[in-house]
Amino acid sequence: MDPALLSQPFRLVNLGVAALMIIGAIAQYGDITPQHIIESIYLFTFGLSTALLEFRNIPQVYRYASFMFSFIGRGCFYAFVGSVLYHKSPWSWVPGLIIGIVGVAYAALEFVPSIEPPENMRDPDSGYDGLGEGV
């Protein structure tokens, strides 16, 4: 399948996940405790960073957060964020559940050789190496 054809849906999914992270961050303010405030700051930062990666490919991000440039890395990150959001409020657990499901789907896509990550999810310096191919 043409990688350019799949690029736009992945971008929309990633932007949707970023929006859900920000919604979940705002929902953390339902309980004003130090834990929820810190979680909210992290989730808001993760949401903004995920959205920014859809528009700009920053080489420093690859250096320090290279997991965001593969399906399995981004999938595990999304599953982690989804589990952090899974609280008692529907404004938290619904976005958390959706983000977690997207994370599991992304991790599974790493093992589908016919689907390559979109351009913005690849190493900016070298091409896509793929799972199991040379480093």
Q: What are phi and psi of 18, to 5 degrees?
A: -60, -45
Report pLDDT for 135.
43
Q: State pTM to two decimals.
A: 0.81
DSSP state of 116: P
Where would I find the H helices in 86-133?
A: 90-109
pLDDT for 127 beyond 60: no
Query: Domain ranges in the chain?
Result: 3-121
Q: What is the mean pLDDT of the chain?
A: 82
DSSP state of 69: G
CB within 8 Å of 44: residues ≥ 6 apart: 21, 22, 25, 26
Mean pLDDT of 95-104: 93
The alpha carbon of residue 1 and the mean position of all alpha carbons in its chain are separated, in whole angstroms, by 23
